[in-house]
Each structure stands twice: as structure tokens, then as C-alpha cells.
């Protein structure tokens, strides 16, 4: 019988593959008790700018050095990262079909400072799933488990911005959709959910659902 529970890392405006898990699983658990892993979607997303893919990274503070747990990772608000990220997003997508609608939902998150990375990420993801019409409760993990039973599907490390760190996912397939700058670039997969939202609006959910491959019993 297919699993109804998935465990994921926290993620900053994650890619469609990640969002497909939120849509397809009944129960979603976010890992917050792991030792924080750098150079992952935990604090970065990738958008499509006029010059190609652009990575936006949230500056963070590891309060306990390399032993800091994800739940304790603080956002470094001494910089103007929120303003800079929004300027980059606006520059990339202001000419997209659904810019005004999506900006009204997402922009307020960039005008409020959060202390913890997990809180900022969760707030953004909740705004996204609410916008596309999904009702889902995101639960935080209670403890760290290196290995989960077969009743839980574990994607904590397999959805990763670096190709060499990605793992086979037989429940997901890339579905093409219209992208800004399609006259300059071939279709770019693995971009932030923002790219899909700005280009497809509420039809984003249809694209996500088409990307989900049902797991055999």
C-alpha cells in the first residue's frame, strides 16, 4: 500500500518536485531536528532571470557552529537580503502574466522579519499552498531519525540543487510549462515554485498534479 506520510527538509520557496510531495501525501512532516546541511534548498531557491538561473540564498547564523540543528538556525537580518531578494524576483517576473496576483501573496513575507529560518520557510510555503487551493497541515518532526520505516517516504536529502546529490524519484516527472524568457532559453526544470506561480497562476496546481507519478502498491 502506498505511503501516506512524507518527511522533507525545510525549504525556501522550493522547486516543483518538493511541492508535488506536499500535494500528493496526506501527512507532511518537516525535519527540524537534523544537523543543518548547507548548500541545499533549506536556505536557497533558484529563479529564472534575464541572464538565466539565479540562486537566491538567505544568510543564516549557525548559533552552535557546524553542530547547529535546523530548528536553531537563525536568519542574519543584519543585511538587506529581503529587499535584495524581492528586487531580483520583481526584475525576473514583473512582466509575467500573474505577477500582480502572486506578488500580493508573497511580498508581505518580505516586509516582515523572522528570527528563525524554519519559521520564514514555513510561512512562505503555507502562503503558496493556500494560494493554489491546497489544505495541508505541515508538522515539524519531534526527533531526528536517521532511517524511517517503509510507511514513511523520506525525501530529506534527495531533493537537492546539486545534480550529483539528487536521487532517483520514481514518483515525479518534469512537466513543461510556459516560462518568461522562453525566447532566450530552453525550458529550465527544478526552478522555485515562484517560477510556476508567476507564469501559470492558479493553473500551477494542474502542472504539479501532472508531475506526480502514482507509486505502485
Instruction: Name the more confident of 20 and 217.
Output: 20
**All cell numbers assigned to 126:** 503555507
Q: Which three cell numbers stand for residue 198?
A: 508567476
Note the pLDDT of residue 156.
Answer: 96
The tens digit of pLDDT for each residue in 133-164 reads: 999 999 999 999 999 999 999 999 999 998 88
pLDDT digits (tens, 9 = 90+) for 9-24: 999 999 999 999 999 9
Q: Per residue in 36-63, pLDDT tens?
A: 999 999 999 999 999 999 999 999 999 9
CB 46 within 8 A of CB 161: yes
Share of the chain above pLDDT 70, in %: 98
Name the average pLDDT for the chain: 95
pLDDT at 216: 47
190 pLDDT above the threshold of 90: yes
153/166: higher pLDDT = 153
- Pick the closest to residue 184 from 46, 60, 92 (CA basis): 92
Per-residue pLDDT of 65-78, as tens digits, reads 999 999 999 999 99
DSSP annotation string for 51-113? TEEEEEE--EE-TTGGG-BGGGPEE-TTS-HHHHHHHHHHHHHTTSTTHHHHHHHHGGGGGS-
Give the whole-angstrom CA distance, residue 198 versus residue 201. Answer: 6
What is this structure's pTM? Answer: 0.95
Amino acid at each position: 500500500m502506498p505511503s501516506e506520510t512524507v518527511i522533507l527538509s525545510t525549504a525556501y520557496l522550493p522547486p516543483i518536485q518538493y511541492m508535488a510531495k506536499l500535494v500528493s501525501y496526506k501527512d507532511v512532516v518537516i525535519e527540524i531536528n537534523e544537523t543543518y546541511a548547507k548548500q541545499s534548498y533549506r536556505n536557497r531557491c533558484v529563479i529564472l532571470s534575464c541572464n538565466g538561473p539565479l540562486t537566491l540564498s538567505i544568510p543564516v547564523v549557525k548559533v552552535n557552529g557546524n553542530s547547529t540543528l535546523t530548528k536553531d538556525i537563525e536568519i542574519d537580518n543584519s543585511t538587506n537580503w529581503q529587499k535584495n531578494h524581492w528586487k531580483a524576483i520583481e526584475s525576473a517576473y514583473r512582466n509575467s502574466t500573474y505577477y500582480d496576483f502572486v506578488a500580493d501573496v508573497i511580498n508581505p513575507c518580505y516586509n516582515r522579519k523572522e528570527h528563525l529560518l524554519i519559521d520564514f520557510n514555513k510561512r512562505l510555503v503555507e502562503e503558496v499552498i493556500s494560494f493554489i487551493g491546497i489544505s495541508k497541515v505541515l508538522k515539524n518532526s519531534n526527533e531526528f531519525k536517521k532511517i524511517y520505516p517503509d510507511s514513511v517516504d523520506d525525501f530529506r536529502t534527495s531533493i537537492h540543487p546539486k545534480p550529483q546529490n539528487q536521487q532517483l524519484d520514481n514518483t515525479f516527472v518534469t512537466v513543461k510549462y510556459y516560462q518568461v524568457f522562453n525566447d532566450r532559453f530552453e525550458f529550465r526544470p527544478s526552478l522555485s515554485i515562484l517560477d510556476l506561480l508567476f507564469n501559470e497562476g492558479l493553473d500551477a496546481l494542474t502542472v504539479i498534479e501532472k508531475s506526480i507519478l502514482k507509486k505502485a502498491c
